[in-house]
Each structure stands twice: as C-alpha cells, then as structure tokens.
C-alpha cells in the first residue's frame, strides 16, 4: 500500500490562460472557460467566488436542470468548467488577497512553494481545514476528533450510540480487538473508553492512517492502538476477541475515489471480510458490524450482505441484532426522501458457528 498522502494534484495552467479580476468582463471569461481555457484568479479570493456564482447563473439560463438526467449533465458541466478556474499557491498560502488561511497547503505540500490548484479543489481543502481545526464533537466521546483531509468522519451518531450501549453491556475479555476501516478512529476510541487494552486498526485510505497517527501523537493511546494502511485486516494476523467494522453501507455503482470508499462497498468486500474474520476470531470472540437498512430502503441493494452470510456462509451465527431509528441529517436533505423516515441503523453481533 502506498504511504503517500492523498491530496489534490496541482494543475499546470495552459499557455493562453486568462487572468480574472473583479472588474473583468464575466461573459467573456465564461466564454473562455467554455472554449477550454484556464482562468487564473488574479486579485481577491472573492473574485473566484463571484466567477463561480456567475458560472452557475449562466448554466441555469442555458441548460435545463429538472429531470434526473438533466441534473446530472448540469453538474458535470459545472464541474468541468469550474475546474478550469485556478488559483496560485505561493509559500504555502493562496496568492490572492483576502483569502482564507488553509493549513493543508503547508501540511500536504511541504516541499512545493509555487503551484496552481483549481478553485473547487481549494474550496474542498478550505472546508476540510475548518473541520480539522475546529474539531467535531462526538456524543459518546469526551474529546473532539479532528478529521484529517480526505478521511471519513461521522456526521450522524446513532450507530455510535448503539455501539456504546453494546460496549457498556459487553462482559467478555478486553485484551485485544480489531477495528477494520478505522477512519477517524471513533470506534477505537470508544473501545479504549470501555477498557480494551489493545486495538489493531486498518484502513485502505492512507490519509486515515496518517491522520489518526498524528491525532494520537506520542500519547499512551499511540501504544494501545496500532495501525496499518492496508486492505481489510492489513498485516494483522493475530487472533482477537472482538472484530469491529463499520463498513460502507451502499453497494458500489461507479468508480470509487478515496472518500467514496467510505460510503460504497465492492461486491467482494463482505465475503473477504467474513473469511478473514473466521481466521482471526478467538473461539469465544465476537464480530460486531455496524450497518443500516439504507441500501434496501433506497433499492440500491437486493440482498443484505450480513443476512446473506448468516444464511449461506456456514461460518458465524447471530447472537444479537440491535436496531435504532436514525435521526435525519438535516431538514434540508429530507425533501423528497420519505424513506429517510424508516431509516434504521443496525448492530449485528456474530459469533463462530462451531
Ligand atoms: C463508513 S467508514 C467508517 C469509519 C470509522 N470506523 C467510523 O465508524 O467512523 C468506512 C471506512 O472503511 C474504509 N474502508 C473501505 N474499504 C476498506 C477495505 N477494503 N479495507 C480497509 N478499510 C476500508 C474507508 O476508507 C473508511 O475509512
């Protein structure tokens, strides 16, 4: 697995790139974007935002945006054109005036002094930086987490509450556990809270491993949680009494990027997980899977991968399944999504069959 941090790749501006300032002609600039030219923002950060706003206005007037297909085309066009708008990064800061301070420009590009990124990339870096420095409060944890660039972090907490209740009642041994797909580390931190002595964590996303290592620093935690950047169990072959996974909840339907891998699973993921878990689970050990009925409600999956394993796998049996109605993310996203009302998170507790 590569140990390189995942970050937006700098863009080389075309020779015939235009410069854009507040006073420039917006229609001519949009025309240039449509012809395939790069436009470099040359005065203020807000000029970039202005150009994006005007670009949206232009597309709203020129493209239909109603049906599902039209919306997809609209988004694709917006993405294509907005990614031709560039900003210069100089000495780890944006070169334009009155721009936000984005610490990732130093952390992720320590050796690059001058380069260009697209405005959408910069917006992504900026909002990720805000999350990282302000931190995210998690109801079941005492301290905030500080999600690293490009790493999944929870924004809804029902599954964490269910896991917390499970850990509260769990009376088995607490010598060691595995956290498969550790993300920002919340499940491992919960296990620490309930007295687990050692956790072996993995993630396919390099940034998750780099970020959580940085988060732990040189504290006691860093000696109790060991990390590996790898697929599923990574390099961990030892047997443990608990294996925890909060896998992606939806089947993959397109090519995945790093963050998508937190949301969508490949069709072999569950088979590989259960077969690996069988080799690593101690005789009286438990597997805990956090899941939801999201894929079934939205029609995204025909089968439930955990029910399938229980019915056909011949490896594990069901000990308990706890369900909790999921709270909506926000009233804004609730529109046209009546299935949200029946969304439930699930905690599946499995043990070995023999
Ligand atoms: C839904 S997130 C859960 C993260 C964290 N455990 C939590 O509960 O907040 C799923 C995580 O699994 C990781 N992941 C996806 N496929 C994986 C695989 N095959 N092996 C290891 N990690 C994987 C993703 O990168 C992501 O960080």
Q: Coil, strand, or helix at residue 56?
A: helix
Instruction: Assess whether 94 and 189 both reside in one domain.
Output: no
> From the CA of 72, how far away is ligand 1's center (Å)?
27
pLDDT at residue 130 in the model: 98
> From the CA of 182, how far away is ligand 1's center (Å)?
6
Of the pLDDT bands very low, low, confident and very high (cuts 50, 70, 90), residue 72 is confident
Domain boundary among 132, 166, 199: 132
CB neighbour class for 340 (10 Å; exposed up to 12, middle 13-18, buried from 19): middle
Nearest atom (ligand 1) to Cα of 153: 9
Instruction: Assess whether 207 and 127 both reside in one domain.
Output: no
pLDDT at residue 171 in the model: 96
Instruction: Assess whether 33 and 169 both reside in one domain.
Output: no
Instruction: Assess whether 173 and 292 both reside in one domain.
Output: yes
pLDDT at residue 299 in the model: 82
Please give the share of the chain, as a percent, with pLDDT higher than 70: 94
Instruction: Assess whether 233 and 127 both reside in one domain.
Output: no
Nearest atom (ligand 1) to Cα of 290: 8
| Interval 286-331: pLDDT, tens | 999 999 988 888 888 888 999 999 999 999 999 999 999 987 665 5
Please give the share of the chain, as a percent, with pLDDT higher than 90: 80
Of the pLDDT bands very low, low, confident and very high (cuts 50, 70, 90), residue 254 is low
pLDDT at residue 39 in the model: 98
pLDDT at residue 338 in the model: 63
**Residue 343: count of CB within 10 angstroms of its CB:** 20
pLDDT above 90 (res 260): no
pLDDT above 70 (res 270): yes
Nearest atom (ligand 1) to Cα of 263: 1
One-character DSSP codes across 108-136: T-TT--EEEEEHHHHHHHHHHHHHHHH-B
> From the CA of 349, how far away is ligand 1's center (Å)?
18
Count the domains in the chain: 2
Sign of the Cα torsion 310, 296, 189, 204 reads: positive
Nearest atom (ligand 1) to Cα of 208: 27
Mean pLDDT of the chain: 93
Q: Which of 69-78, 84-93, 281-290, 331-340 has the lowest mean pLDDT?
A: 331-340
Q: Which of 107-116, 271-280, 298-307 has the lowest mean pLDDT?
A: 298-307
Per-residue pLDDT, averaged over 191-196, amounts to 98
Q: CA angle, 211 as apex, 6 and 8 as ends, to 5°?
A: 20
> Rg of the Cα trace of the chain?
23
Instruction: Assess whether 127 and 182 both reside in one domain.
Output: no
> From the CA of 39, how far away is ligand 1's center (Å)?
37
Whose CA is closest to 301, among 271, 273, 264, 333?
264
Q: Is residue 247 part of a domain?
A: yes
Q: Is residue 146 part of a domain?
A: no
| Interval 119-176: pLDDT, tens | 999 999 999 999 999 999 999 999 999 999 999 999 999 999 999 999 999 999 999 9
Which residue's C-alpha comes closest to atom 24 of ligand 1?
262
pLDDT at residue 337 in the model: 59
Q: Which of 138, 163, 183 to mutate to test the pocket of ligand 1 (most atoms within 8 A of CB)?
A: 183
Instruction: Assess whether 121 and 227 both reside in one domain.
Output: no
Q: Is residue 147 part of a domain?
A: no
Q: Is residue 149 part of a domain?
A: no
pLDDT at residue 162 in the model: 97
Q: Which of 136, 191, 203 to mutate to test the pocket of ligand 1 (most atoms within 8 A of CB)?
A: 203
Of the pLDDT bands very low, low, confident and very high (cuts 50, 70, 90), residue 256 is low
Per-residue pLDDT, averaged over 178-207, amounts to 98
Whose CA is closest to 158, among 138, 134, 133?
138
pLDDT at residue 329 in the model: 60
One-character DSSP codes across 275-331: HHHHHHEEEEEEEEEEEESHHHHTT--SS-HHHHHHHHTSSEEEEEEEEEEPPPS-H
pLDDT at residue 263 in the model: 83
Q: Which of 140, 152, 177, 290 to mutate to test the pocket of ligand 1 (most atoms within 8 A of CB)?
A: 152
Of the pLDDT bands very low, low, confident and very high (cuts 50, 70, 90), residue 21 is very high
pTM over 0.75: yes
**Residue 52: count of CB within 10 angstroms of its CB:** 17
> From the CA of 113, how far away is ligand 1's center (Å)?
33
| Interval 195-208: pLDDT, tens | 999 999 999 999 99
Compute the CA torsion angle 286, 291, 292, 295 (nearest 10 deg).
Answer: -130
Q: Coil, strand, or helix at residue 204?
A: coil
Instruction: Assess whether 45 and 96 both reside in one domain.
Output: yes
Nearest atom (ligand 1) to Cα of 269: 19
Of the pLDDT bands very low, low, confident and very high (cuts 50, 70, 90), residue 64 is confident
pLDDT above 70 (res 332): no
CB neighbour class for 255 (10 Å; exposed up to 12, middle 13-18, buried from 19): exposed
Supply the range of the domain harboring residue 276: 158-352
**Ligand 1: residues whose CB is within 6 Å?**
152, 154, 180-184, 186-187, 202-205, 208, 231-232, 246, 248, 261-262, 269
Q: Is residue 9 part of a domain?
A: no
């Amino acid at each position: 697995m590569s140990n390189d941090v995942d970050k937006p790749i700098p863009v080389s501006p075309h020779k015939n790139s235009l410069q854009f300032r507040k006073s420039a002609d917006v229609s001519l600039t949009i025309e240039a974007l449509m012809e395939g030219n790069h436009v470099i923002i040359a005065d203020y950060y807000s000029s970039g935002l202005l150009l994006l706003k005007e670009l949206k206005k232009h597309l709203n007037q020129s493209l239909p945006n109603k049906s599902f297909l039209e919306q997809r085309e609209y988004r694709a066009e917006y993405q294509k054109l907005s990614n031709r708008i560039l900003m210069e990064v100089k000495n780890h800061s944006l070169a334009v005036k009155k721009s936000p301070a984005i610490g990732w420009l130093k952390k992720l590009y320590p050796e690059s002094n001058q380069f260009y990124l697209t405005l959408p990339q910069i917006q992504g870096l900026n909002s990720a930086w805000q999350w990282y420095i302000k931190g995210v409060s998690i109801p079941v944890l005492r301290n905030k987490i500080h999600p690293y660039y490009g790493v999944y972090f929870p924004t809804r907490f029902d599954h964490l509450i269910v896991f917390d209740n499970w850990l509260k009642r769990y009376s088995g041994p607490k010598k060691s556990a595995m956290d498969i797909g550790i993300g920002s580390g919340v499940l491992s931190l919960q296990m620490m809270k309930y007295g687990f002595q050692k956790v072996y964590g993995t993630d396919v996303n390099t940034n998750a491993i780099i970020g959580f290592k940085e988060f732990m620093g040189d504290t006691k935690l860093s000696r109790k949680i060991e990390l590996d950047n790898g697929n599923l169990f990574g390099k961990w072959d030892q047997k443990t009494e608990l294996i925890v996974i909060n896998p992606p909840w939806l089947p993959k339907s397109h090519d995945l990027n790093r963050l998508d891998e937190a949301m969508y699973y490949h069709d072999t993921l569950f088979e590989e997980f259960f077969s690996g878990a069988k080799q690593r689970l101690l005789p009286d050990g438990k597997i805990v899977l956090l899941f939801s009925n999201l894929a079934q409600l939205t029609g995204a999956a025909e089968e439930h991968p955990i029910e399938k394993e229980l019915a056909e796998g011949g490896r594990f049996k069901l000990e308990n399944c706890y369900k909790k109605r999921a709270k909506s993310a926000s009233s804004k996203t609730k529109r046209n999504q009546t299935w949200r009302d029946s969304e439930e998170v699930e905690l599946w507790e499995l043990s070995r069959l023999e």
